[in-house]
Structure 1
Amino acid sequence: MRGPGEIAAALRSLAEPSALATLVRTKGSSYRKPGARMVFHPGGLQQGGISAGCMETDVKERVAAVLESRHPLLVTFDLGSEIDLIWGTGMGCAGRAEVLLERMEPGQVPPWLEHAERLARERGSGLLATVFGTRGEVPAAPGDRFLFEGDRSLLPAPPALEAALRTPPAHAEARTARLEGGEVDLLLEPIRPPVALWVFGAGEHAMPLFRLAKGLGWFLGLADHRPGLATAARFPEANRIVVGHPPDSLQAIPFDARTAALVVSHVYEADKAALAAFLKAPLGYVGLQGNRRRSERILRELEEEDGPLTEEARSLLHYPAGLDIGAESPELIALSMISEVQASLAGRPGLPLRQWQGPIHPR
């Protein structure tokens, strides 16, 4: 599930009934993937996104009907038909998309979204199931939600649907469950922990990293041995701040494969100690900022003190951290490092798209 906090905040700010649009199924080319959401206000204000602008105008025209009827509405878009190019919105895309529209009351966040928001905030995992179509006599209706956190049911599903929900997909996808009395169309969305970025170093040059990464919805951690620099006032974007000397200060941090670490303090011994700790943690990326000679000296000393690095540690380590984008300013240097973190965690090479032969939008 993508960005539950953004949608929840939009719903809390509502002053009048509005519509929530959820992209539930796609076929062929699609800019956004199932699970994308958007809030449509009657006055025209929109928050979130379900396409590259192809469907929003047509969806907005359906909002009044959904608000009046109070019943969910499933809308299908044929994005590749010639009729659409002549008479429709002129999308010129290729593919098919289905969007579920639901009425939302002012200032109210539905329980399923509150749970999803909490899981994202706590970097938890789960599975959200949204019913968007039914046929026959089945124990569900469009708009019903079921939510699981591991083996725990936060919003239990009818027993007849349990089997379909106990085999979560690797990515958000539509699935049809065939039951004794009919069929249920479900959007299944794995809820994964947001990417976490831990930055060791609270100097001025670290600030653009936090500003950029905050807009990506990442969990942001700051660590430094200097209490005068590692403060919430200087880094308001940080979700957590740890002050102390590594490696002890880093031992209680819950690292995982969706966590990246950047070492940028530019204090030699502190950088070396932090890097040593990060290379022993189950991270998905470790980056060391600084010139190549300094970085290789740090690595050489670490290996002299602790023995050779494992192949796994070497595969995670990036130095100098960042992609070659001609960065000179602190902001561009931060962009180059954030880009490398994203590419590495996504398992992508960071090539220009014109050189990439695989799918542009990963599932």
Structure 2
Amino acid sequence: MFVYLDYASLVPPVREALDAMHAAAESGWGHPKALHGIGARAQYVLEQARQQVADYAGAMPQEIVFVGSGREALACGFGLALELAPAAMPIVSSRLEHPSVLALVERAARAGRVVHWLGLPEGVPNEEDAAALREPSLVVLAMCNHELGTMLDVTAVSPQSIRVIDAVQAAPWVSLDTLNDERTFYALSGSKLGAPMGIGAVRVPSHVHYAAVNRRSVLESDGPPWITAIGLGAACAARAPRREPALARARLVAERLLRGLRDIEPRLLVNGAEGARLGPIANVSFPDLSGKSLVESLGLERICISHTAACRARHSDASPVVRAAYANFPARADGATRWSVSEHVTDDDVGRALEVTGRVLRNRRTARGHETPR
């Protein structure tokens, strides 16, 4: 039996999403753009899903654009924001962002855009960062960091700034109402909200959407992944009343997990500034131990955690996010592991994870103690 503690990478699809997709595939299987009745039926259920996502996000339905993933949502929002921002407006971002965001910002820098990289020590702004955010800029930041779980006040920027917000990790847990203004784009991922992989959404301010329509630009392709979009709508509708109690439950689970890990390893380092962590993501470093190595060892025992973003897990030996947040303490990045929970993680799951982790660490210490000195 697996113990899954990697919800920041992927959330299993919820029953409501799968049922809605199955019903749509049976009765609304036409092309949503077709003019005939079957196409109209498909278009109806697609627009119903758009309304459900908009209701969840606190946006207007015409502001919700369906795309193939959270990565595509970020790329779409960033591209539109670049068109909106004056050429002389600098980009403000950080090295703690998701790899897909870093790739977008670095590409813009190579194309000649000025980029100001925030330090975000421990995942939060210092005085220099805060001063940079008060200047008009194109701000590209995560609301909740995907590895540290730290929250940023993304409203604390110049009112003249344009914002591209990675809301992927925040959306399952907190309201997005403060992001729905005329200068903010933000991205959602179905795989974090209970829809199957293969769907994301970007919120586009209505005036940008209407301008695109007027110049006959297509924001949403003629063939969006509409069956999974229906799954995302159903997942959002199911999540909405559960969001607040789910966060409270997940925080309790994470707190118990952290207490247990500290009991196992008193020298444990918790990454991310105290008081800034949302709760469901716990990032910890084990001294004198490779985080990737521990992930692999626990995986053999069916305990599923991570040491970095899922898309980098096979290629990175250490967490680049923790390395950036603790630039003067590289060992933290080497030993970093991410334990991300949901409200569905049980006490038995936590107990099993702690028991196996304790045993793995004891075996490693014993092996080191019997190593022959060179």
Instruction: Please classify the TM superposition score into its range, dividing by the shorter chain length.
Output: under 0.3
Higher strand share: 1
Give me the TM-score of the superposition, normalised by structure 2.
0.23
Q: Which one has a bigger Cα radius of gyration? A: 1
